[in-house]
Structure 1
Amino acid sequence: MSTAKATRVRWTILAILFLITTINYADRATISIAGPELKKVLGLSSVQMGYVFSAFAWSYVIAQLPGGWLLDRFGSKITYFFSIFFWSLFTVAMGWVGFFTGGAAVAVLFCLRLLVGAAEAPSFPGNSRITSAWFPTRERGTAAAIFNSAQYFATVLFAPLMGWLVHSFGWQSVFYVMGSLGIVMSFVWMKTIYGPRLHPRINKAELDFIEAGGALVDVEGGGKPSTAPRMATGPVIRQLLGNRMLLGVYIGQYCITTLTYFFLTWFPVYLVSERHMTILKAGFVAALPAVAGFLGGILGGYISDRMLKGGSSLSKARKTPIVAGMLLAMSMVFCNYVTQDWLVVAIMSLAFFGKGIGALGWAVVSDTSPKEAGGLSGGLFNTFGNTAGITTPIVIGYIIEGTGSFAGALVFVGANALVAILCYLCMVGEIKRVELKPMEDGAAAPQPSGAGVR
């Protein structure tokens, strides 16, 4: 190994992932900030609004496995560039919905959200794939927590801005501004992202360090061509779903993502309709739980990696923050029993602090995904998780329509946090990397790796 001081290029790569993921979640949240005005202008019921909120997730889920295949086939740099560019372009186009009226406006809005969802599909599997390539196992929890915490930072940074834009310039301005910013960032991505072996600023000391620590440095190109047989997609997916550990992780992610989509879709509406805040105030208030979620996300990754460095097993280091975080997230149910706005904000902040601590699913995916099918594995994980983006807005819409309040909705979200705990405690078992072994028909069967931390 080289005696030269190692560069720290991997942290620059992580900073770019964080910025892009911040834009990603801000663009997802545009519809929730504009939601109260859109609901009024288009005359939508709560159930109809729930379906509009869910449109993103329908296509996002369907496109996960194709997106993962594209990542494995063409690499993260080029696939992610087109993802950023097109989701941003479709976000800009959502501002044009104002040129339509009635059913046509709703149909155009729904279709554009479908397009945004499909375009964003490779984003998080791409994040996981790049993290696996650039970070050793003992830093991977922190790295995954940082890019995942961008979902909260997006609200901290952009919810007040978007609330002000709606208040001052109308709901269309949110889509124009955020979409244009994303288009600019797509070209920044192309100029800054490389695989470890291809990056012009990395030195041998850093490359040796991350490779020795378990980083999959060849997954993003620059290494020797793989001699492993090409894996047949269908059989690999079936075998991944047959792995109890991975299935527990997938189901747990569905439950955790239910909390995310409540926050991205109905939370601002909850503040306006249930707590009677103005849209401008709601934009600023929504940022407070997001700050807590951001801090919790960073803390969860730090705790997990510190436990690893202190000698804890990979399973204990990943599961402990997840379980503790979901216990805290369940506290949001107590909002049903308080009336003061400051208490509601405090409880929601505690809940999303916990949600942030427990959001280590992508670190687990980086720890467990097969080397030959990291994109597919991440896509399958994200398919399960973002199915919650379909069910959560719709279920909450029906709950509100049927009961006239958000009380049942908060219980529904809290119950999902409990199920996530049960998945990790009772189903996941030992966390290990899955290895794909060739089968006679050229497909592959996943087997847990004995190393468990590669």
Structure 2
Amino acid sequence: MIKKTSPKLGEKPSKRRWFILFLVCSITFINYLDRANLAVAAPFLSKEFLLNPVQMGLIFSALSWSYTLMQIPSGWFLDRIGSKIVYGIALCGWSVFTMIMGITYNLTSTIFCRLGLGVFESPAFPANTRIVTTWFPSKERGLAIGAYTGSEYIGLALCTPILTWLLVTFGWRSIFIATGLLGITFSVIWFFCYNDPSKSKGVNKAEIDFIKEGGGLSDTIVEKKKVTWKEIKKLVFNRQLGGMYITAFANAAILFFFMTWFPSYLVNEKHMGILKVGIYGSLPYFAAIAGVIVAGKWSDWMISKGYGLGVSRKLPVILGLILSSVMIGSNYTNNVNIIITFMCIAFFGQGMASAISWALLSEIAPKELLGLSCGTYNFIANLGGALSPTIVGYLIARTGSYASALVFVSSMGIIGALSYIFIIGKPTRIIISD
């Protein structure tokens, strides 16, 4: 460990944490590019492989099943090994599976690749939260978490028109090869550039003190912590976390509808051409970016004004989830512009909820089990992501339309909001002690 020298009189904190945030945002952008590329390719992949809606639902959800099952193990690895090694290996691994998607030839091989993608992507968001909580004081954390959460929507927003162009120009397989190569390249950059604060170049003692005094964990995270079943039980059955688990499940169900079925909804239900989908389909993602930014700044502003965690972190989530249920209005119109407006409002709200949910988790999770806490939270959340595409596919196959699917997705927003209102209570840091 590199020992930082005492700060000089009047020395200003360095800005290394903002470069670290840039790295995290870039990887999150790639992460969601590699998740959502299938949604763009789906109409053509399903036609080539002769797949029905139920089979496509299985493909869409395959990533989420392996991703979900690996959440708790990945959180354990993060606490024991550390963010640099785990995140770097994960990025390289999921990028390789993304490239292999470009040479799949049937239902089985496609599901295999999506399962592998889910395994290696599983440490991503627990690592993001762990890194931001390590590097940022509380008053900057909402903005930092909002930044990397916004990056996932930037990936989705840019993914639709750019990947649509690749599809039309070079075929659907080129989408996976291009995005996989991008991730492999960035994994090299990560290994060269990232370290925790106490080991990082370019950070001075004044910045480390600034992080610690503001409630950041800096170098206080123990990376070789033994975890007991009693501690795991406390994480699973804690009331605050229980309320967050329900809301995370609901919010992920909404997100994964947009990440999987949304382009197909525009093509098959609203009969849009694929190039038009590339333009219209990206608009809700830009709305989600705005939601992330608004929620992050609003929440941090309330913290700075002394409103407390309960109001500052919970109110944007509740409002966002209520807004997400507005998509149900799409069932009552065939006007494309009105439909996209409903979807933009819904995804704006989903972006608000996603950004601040992670911020609240960073405030209440036990310091010594941060990686495991995030992994457990993400495990429950992604059950929603795993089930949502399958349920939507079943509803489409059963009814022949997307109307009942939109009812299901909209109801998730209401359930999530009610959980934040009635279950979580007053947020406080959870203490794990025997």
Deviation of residue 295 (structure 1)?
1.0
Query: How far apart, in 1, do the equivalents of 2:96 and 2:285 lie?
Result: 26
Paired AA for residue 81 in structure 1: G
Is 2:165 the counterpart of 1:164? yes
CA shift in 2, pair 1:3/1:203, >3 Å: same
Partner residue in 1 for 2:189: 188
The AA in structure 2 aligned to 1:178 is: T
Q: C-alpha distance in 2, partners of 1:176/1:189?
A: 20
- What's the CA shift string for 1:310-332, capped at 9, x where partnerless? 11011110011001111111111
Are 1:289 and 2:297 an aligned pair?
no
Which residue of 1 is the match for residue 414 of structure 2? 418
Matched to 1:388, the amino acid is: G
Alignment of structure 1 residues 23-172 onto 2, 5 Å? 23-97=30-104, 100=105, 105-172=106-173
Question: For 2:391 and 2:153, how far apart are their aligned partners in 1?
Answer: 23
Distance 2:279 2:187 in 1: 28
1:379 corresponds to: 375
Mapped to 2, the partners of 1:87 and 1:232 lie a distance apart of: 27
| CA shift for structure 1 position 275 | 1.0
Q: Which letter does structure 1 place at the counterpart of 2:39?
A: S
Question: 1:14 offset after TM fit, Å?
Answer: 1.0
2:307 maps to 1:306: no
Q: Distance in 2 between matches of 1:142 and 1:435?
A: 25
Write the distance in 2 (CA, Å) between the matches of 1:38 and 1:351. Answer: 28
Q: How many corresponding residue pairs?
A: 426
Aligned twin of 1:18? 25
Q: Which runs of 5+ in 1 are unaligned?
A: 440-454
Instruction: Provide the rounded CA distance (Å) in 2 between the counterparts of 1:283 and 1:77.
Output: 35
Tell me if 1:325 matches 2:325. no
Deviation at 1:284? Answer: 2.1
- State the superposition RMSD in angstroms: 1.3
* 1:220, distance to aligned residue in structure 2 (A): 5.6
Letter aligned with residue 138 of structure 1: K
Gaps of 5+ in 2: 1-6
Partner SS, residue 361 of structure 1: helix
CA contact 2:37–2:159 (8 Å) conserved in 1: no
Alpha-carbon separation, structure 1, partners of 2:178 and 2:376: 32
- Per the normalisation by structure 1, the TM-score is 0.92
Give secondary structure in 2 for the equivalent of 1:255.
Answer: helix
Q: Percent identity?
A: 40
Aligned partner letter, 1:75:
G
Distance 1:220 1:89, change over 3 A: farther
Separation in 2, partners of 1:220, 1:35: 42
Match of 2:3 in 1: none
Once the two structures are superposed, residues 30-67 of structure 1 have per-residue CA deviations (whole angstroms, 9 ceiling, x without a partner) of: 11111110111111111111011000011001111111
**Bigger Cα displacement from structure 2, 421-430 vs 188-197:** 188-197
| Equivalent residue, structure 1, for 2:399 | 403
Matches within 5 A, 1:425-444: 425-437=421-433, 439=434
For residues 261-317 of structure 1, give each alpha carbon's deviation from its aligned partner in whole angstroms, at most 9, with x where no partner exists. 001000011011011112222122221111110011011011000000011011110
| Separation (CA, whole Å) in 2 of partners of 1:219 and 1:5 | 22
Query: Which stretches of structure 1, 4 residues or more, deviate above 4 A after TM superposition?
Result: none
Cα distance in 2 for partners of 1:377, 1:396 equals 29
Q: Using the alignment, how far apart are the partners of 1:377 and 1:71 within structure 2?
A: 11
**Residues 359-398 of structure 1: CA distance to partner in whole angstroms, max 9, x if unpaired?**
2211111111111111110000000111112110010011
CA contact (8 A) 1:255 1:420 kept: yes
Q: Which amino acid aligns with 2:357?
A: G
User: What is the alpha-carbon distance in structure 2 between the residues aligned to residue 136 and residue 46 of structure 1?
Assistant: 46
- The answer to whether the Cα contact below 8 Å between 1:8 and 1:206 also exists between their aligned partners in 2 is yes
User: What TM-score do you get using the length of structure 2 for normalisation?
Assistant: 0.96
**Separation of aligned partners in 1, 2:407 and 2:430:** 35
Does 2:2 correspond to 1:3? Answer: no
Q: 1:334 maps to which residue? A: 329
Whole-angstrom CA distance in 2 between matches of 1:432 and 1:191: 37
